Amino acid sequence: MTILDSETKATEHSDDHGDELRLWLRLLTCTTLIEGEVRSRLRERFDVTLPRFDLMAQLDKAPDGMTLSDVSKRMMVSNGNITGLVERLVQSGHVDRRTSEVDRRVQVIRLTKSGRAEFRKMAAEHEIWIAEMFSDLGEKDVRELMRLLGKTKLSVRKAADSGG
Amino acid sequence: MTILDSETKATEHSDDHGDELRLWLRLLTCTTLIEGEVRSRLRERFDVTLPRFDLMAQLDKAPDGMTLSDVSKRMMVSNGNITGLVERLVQSGHVDRRTSEVDRRVQVIRLTKSGRAEFRKMAAEHEIWIAEMFSDLGEKDVRELMRLLGKTKLSVRKAADSGG
DNA sequence: ACGAATTGCTTTAGGTCTAAAATGAAATTG
DNA sequence: CAATTTCATTTTAGACCTAAAGCAATTCGT
């Protein structure tokens, strides 16, 4: 993987990138399956969408509130997206939004009392659903998967920073 | 993991589902990172969206064409979604769509000649991007991740079938 | 302090996605 | 064979999402 042997590799070791591609597709399949299942259960059980749940999850971890930029970074979605998402959650009374007094560009949002209560109920069930979906994996599997995905995360970030 | 000790577990081992939740969040992060990077590169390099690329990838593997239902199942997205996606690819000349002569409900779609050529070019680069993103993982890591994600896939499907 | 860059958010245009209802074709059933 | 059901697809209504442009507030360099 150093610069030196990358040339060597390119010639002698041919371009066998199929394994990584298959790995990526499998990773994507797992995520899609879980996400779809969570989405459908959230809808049936609580009549809430996944993005709203995710946003509330971020806010639940931040009792002092977050700025829209914070949320956007944490959720890894675009700024413009958050504006509309928050607007709907404000309308439904789950989220409180106010302009910062220190910097009038900034909107600080936080869960309302009822929003937090409702989220906690959903989160409790959600956690059980997830555990259920991973229940065929032993503790060791979970640890190992966690480790390998951690490594993957770093690897992807490195490639994204250098190449994009 | 047997049926027998599942009861024992439930009582003595409390409800520590945090590990699985963290695992899920990490899995989601990895997928989101890779997907975002691929999306942005496809856009910059080929001015194509990820869903279009994905659909073309499915069609490339099926020289005799696919029905919209086939595509919908393979891509794990809703039927209605495919209709619009295909329509745009037909408009841009990448995909050919015709009604089946055996069953007039069915639409058979396939890549056009130019659509296939264009896809192959994109796919070649795409494969390199993916390999690059996983490049910090050794062969052993890749194999192990593949195995664990396979196990995860089965586990999720089981939970989805029984619980949903 | 003052113009330029930056930052935080919103708006816009357009694509993607879902669930649910609707349409039309084929298969099944009494 | 007519009525019903099933199946493939489309339509609808609405939410989600991005990239890019726009706006307003702040900060920076001088």
- pLDDT tens, position by position, B73-124: 999 999 999 999 999 999 999 999 999 999 999 999 999 999 999 999 999 9
Give CA–CA dist A114/A9, Å, rounded: 59
Asked whether the predicted pLDDT for residue B63 surpasses 80, the reply is yes
Asked whether the predicted pLDDT for residue A149 surpasses 50, the reply is yes
Min Cα distance B116 → chain A (Å) is: 19
pLDDT of res. B126:
97
pLDDT of res. B20:
95
Query: Which chain A residues are Cβ-neighbours of B130 within 8 angstroms?
Result: 17, 20-21, 24
Specify the nucleotide whose C1' lies closest to residue B81 (CA).
C17
Give CA–CA dist A56/A44, Å, rounded: 18
Give CA–CA dist A100/A108, Å, rounded: 6
Task: Decide: CB of B51 under 7 A of nucleic strand C.
Answer: yes
First to last CA, chain A: 19
Asked whether the predicted pLDDT for residue A33 surpasses 50, the reply is yes
B9 pLDDT band, cuts 50/70/90, is: very low
∠A96-A86-B42 over CA atoms, to 5°? 155
Query: How many percent of chain A have pLDDT more than 70?
Result: 90
Min Cα distance A35 → chain B (Å) is: 9
Bases of chain D below 7 A from a protein C-beta are 7-13, 15-21, 24-27
pLDDT of res. B48:
96
Task: Give yes or no for B150 touching A (CB within 8 A).
Answer: yes
Query: How many percent of chain B have pLDDT more than 70?
Result: 90
Give CA–CA dist B156/A145, Å, rounded: 15
Task: Decide: CB of A55 under 7 A of nucleic strand C.
Answer: no
∠A44-B7-B23 over CA atoms, to 5°? 55
User: Contact A153/B26, CB-based, under 8 Å?
Assistant: yes
Q: Which two tokens stand for residue B93?
A: 């000349």
B42 pLDDT band, cuts 50/70/90, is: very high
Pick A12 or A56 by higher pLDDT. Answer: A56
Specify the nucleotide whose C1' lies closest to residue A44 (CA).
C19
Write the pLDDT tens digit of every residue in A94-123.
Answer: 999 999 999 999 999 999 999 999 999 999
Asked whether the predicted pLDDT for residue A9 surpasses 70, the reply is no
Query: Which chain A residues are Cβ-neighbours of B147 within 8 angstroms?
Result: none
pTM of the model: 0.89
pLDDT of res. A7:
45
Task: Give yes or no for B24 touching A (CB within 8 A).
Answer: yes
Query: Which chain B residues are Cβ-neighbours of A9 within 8 angstroms?
Result: none
Task: Give yes or no for B134 touching A (CB within 8 A).
Answer: yes
Chain A residue closest in CA terms to B152 = A134
Considering only CA atoms, which of A38, A136, A58, A145 is closest in space to residue B158? A136
pLDDT of res. B43:
95
Chain B residue closest in CA terms to A152 = B134
pLDDT of res. B73:
95
Write the pLDDT tens digit of every residue in A36-88.
Answer: 999 999 999 999 999 999 999 999 999 999 999 999 999 999 999 999 999 99
Asked whether the predicted pLDDT for residue B2 surpasses 90, the reply is no
Bridge partners, A99 (sequence order): A107
Q: Which two tokens stand for residue A135?
A: 């229940």
Task: Give yes or no for B1 touching A (CB within 8 A).
Answer: yes
A3 pLDDT band, cuts 50/70/90, is: very low
